[in-house]
Amino acid sequence: MVANSMVSRNRFDFREVQDLVVKLTKSSGVPQEDAVVFADALVWADLRGTSTHGVSRVDIYLRRIEKGLINPVADLKIQSRSPGVLVADAGTGLGQVQAVRVLERLYPVATELGVASATIKNSQHFGAASHYCELAAERDMILLVATNSEPAMPAHGSTDAFFGTNPVAASFPTGKGYSIKIDLATSVTARGNILAAAKEGREIPSGWAIDPEGHPTTDAESALQGAVLTMAGHKGYALAMLVEILSGVLSGSAVGSGIGSMYKDMNREQNVGHFFCLFDISSFMDVSLFKERIGSMIDLIKVGRKQPGTDEIFVPGERTNKKVLENKEMGIPIDTATLEELRSLCHKRGVPFTLS
């Protein structure tokens, strides 16, 4: 999910970036503590090299608030029909904020019952799904996340974009200084990578997408108007549907092509749905034993024979962890276009542009 660094990028201290995003978000009417949660989620992604889900999206979120498509002071309504399930309505609030609020309500339920689940409707694109998983992993819990998203991929055999790139994510504490971080779009590639290519005027690899008439294309703009393909053909189709049912059908949110586009539909809400299932590890086995066992698995994988051309076998999350350490030390890279967006937002809102 790391965007290619073919454009000029400067690095900035992540705390300074976070601070600026908080100020900008507050200037849109979002309360201080919600603005902090929101900025945390975006900078979390930039720290991990997932700039497609980072501060490059500040501009569009704030524009959608201006248009009345995101409610900066939304209520979170939670209905509970059963002890282990929270049915949430995000009230078109910021997805990052409402997801964290639901997760906070889910922790004590999972601690008591061992497992707890939640759906969230009337939400937005909520950034990187693995952000929420990692918050849970820090508490020795396992969070499975699924979310639907704006139409991008056709059903197997179809030309029309129906499903979003519908990611699934989970993180696992390891005792190795990092969490195993699994976060995958069910598409051949993340839509963010096509967006980035379009923004930078690059071609995309063949096999990634079809144009609006169903023909294969390497043009990023045509791909954005057409459809991204599911990973592994019918298997990705099945997984995308699994995600759509859990996060969309079951939550009461919009489903498939009913979801509004973040960038293209500036006249209607997105109505994205999210699905959480939270497991308390200690309800299955002692946490120390779990970490010992997952550590042994990692060790076994890493000492396996390597394929020619492979220097080291990595587990998901391992390299991300190195990237975080690097970016905390060196600053997070921000591309010129995003930097200009932030500068312009500051100018319009009378927020001092403090990045240096």
Closer of 28 and 253 to a copy of itself (Cβ) = 253
Q: Judging by DSSP bridges, how do beta strands 85-89 and 115-123 pair with one another?
A: parallel
CB of 352 to a copy of itself, least distance (A): 42
Helix 58-66 and helix 336-349: axis angle, to 10°? 40
Whole-number Cα distances in Å, 159 to 45, 61, 305, 345: 32, 29, 42, 38
Closer of 116 and 334 to a copy of itself (Cβ) = 116
Closer of 39 and 294 to a copy of itself (Cβ) = 294
CB of 320 to a copy of itself, least distance (A): 12
CA–CA gap between residue 4 and residue 197 (Å, rounded):
9
Closer of 152 and 239 to a copy of itself (Cβ) = 239
CB of 332 to a copy of itself, least distance (A): 24
CB of 292 to a copy of itself, least distance (A): 10
CB of 90 to a copy of itself, least distance (A): 15
Residue 208 half-sphere exposure toward CB, CA atoms < 13 A:
21
Helix (H/G/I), strand (E/B), else coil: 23: helix
Closer of 91 and 252 to a copy of itself (Cβ) = 252
CB of 211 to a copy of itself, least distance (A): 12
Closer of 58 and 229 to a copy of itself (Cβ) = 229
Bridge-partner residues for 89, per DSSP? 77, 121
What are the backbone dihedrals phi and psi of residue 314, each rounded to the nearest 5 degrees, phi first?
Answer: -110, 150
CB of 274 to a copy of itself, least distance (A): 13
Q: Which two tokens stand for residue 355?
A: 């990045």
Q: What is the CB neighbour count within 10 angstroms for residue 324?
A: 17
Q: Are 234 and 156 in contact (CB under 8 A)?
A: yes
How far from each other are the two terminal CA atoms of the chain, in whole angstroms?
Answer: 26
Q: What DSSP state is assigned to residue 281?
A: G
Closer of 296 and 354 to a copy of itself (Cβ) = 296
